[in-house]
Amino acid sequence: MSIARSALLAASRSVWLREQMARRSFARRAVKRFMPGEKVEDALEASAELARFGLGAILTQLGENLTSLGEADAVREHYLGVLDAIGTRGLPAEVSVKPTQLGLDLSAEACLANIDVLAARANAAGSTLWIDMEDSSYVDRTLELYRKLRAKHQRLGVCLQAYLRRTPADLAVLLPLKPAIRLVKGAYAERPEVAFPAKADVDAAYHKLGVDLLTAAAKGGAFVVFGTHDLVLLGRLTTKAAELGVKDGAYEIHMLYGIRAAEQRTLARDGRKVRCLISYGSAWFAWYMRRLAERPANVWFVVRSLLPG
């Protein structure tokens, strides 16, 4: 792991820095590169704009660990409102939730019930609900939630992180469920015995997992989403999809709002099914630092964007 990436991930856990950044107008201007605004209305409007270019969206409210089940109930009601707004506006958008937002740290049963309600509402609207993956300490509990709900809700997806050494075994356990999997590289600070520290190893793991998922998808045994901005990897995997007979619309590519926007539109014009992950909310600091850590060169881009002229 590079020194810059390590420093940014360490900074993401700093309470002092989070409080300082939240009060700085320049920080909010910098964050605008990666999110259209803090309110859900900002995310919905951005979704409508993306739809003009043939792009779908995934909406997620920032914020992770909660302190009461009442807060989790409020998050559930918020997302029910988001799903209703998506339907009312006719947007090609879906929702992704973090289990800790819905009470996982406080009660696995309450979290399961909350996701169950949201998945039912999404499925009734013909939409997929995505369960996001947090750091490695949550993998077992998150996958248990998914396994319990998958049979009940066919349009329910979960995220797997290629940099975790355990992920091939996790995928093998999930494949009999004919899962919907969003494959990402991973953005949390993890110990080297837990996650591959070298980019080359992460890329190799991602490609192998992607091929395994496409092989299953070719037989109707999985729905695969490639959540990456790595155009080289995407090129190799889309070529493999064609070789296996997996049609363009039978898998998706997910990228973040504000990153490779032109490439997202090009992929959509070329017939790929592309969705843009739009985050919103006031709890943006840790998420923002992890975004910078994914590609530390983005720091210079942000600095330049803040300079006059």
Q: What residues are labeled active site?
A: 132, 182
Query: CB-based burial of residue 292 (10 Å sphere; 0-12 exposed, 13-18 middle, 19+ buried)?
Result: buried
Q: Both tokens of residue 89?
A: 């506006």
Residue with tokens 């539109």: 265
H-type alpha helices, the chain: 3-11, 15-22, 25-31, 40-51, 69-89, 108-124, 139-150, 167-174, 199-218, 231-244, 261-269, 285-294, 298-306
8 A C-beta contact, residue 295 and residue 9: no
- Number of Cβ within 10 Å of residue 11's Cβ equals 17
- Distance in Å from the first CA to the final CA of the chain: 35
User: Which of 106, 87, 74 lies closest to 281, judged by CA?
Assistant: 74
Residue type at 204 in one-letter notation: A
d(CA 140, CA 80): 26
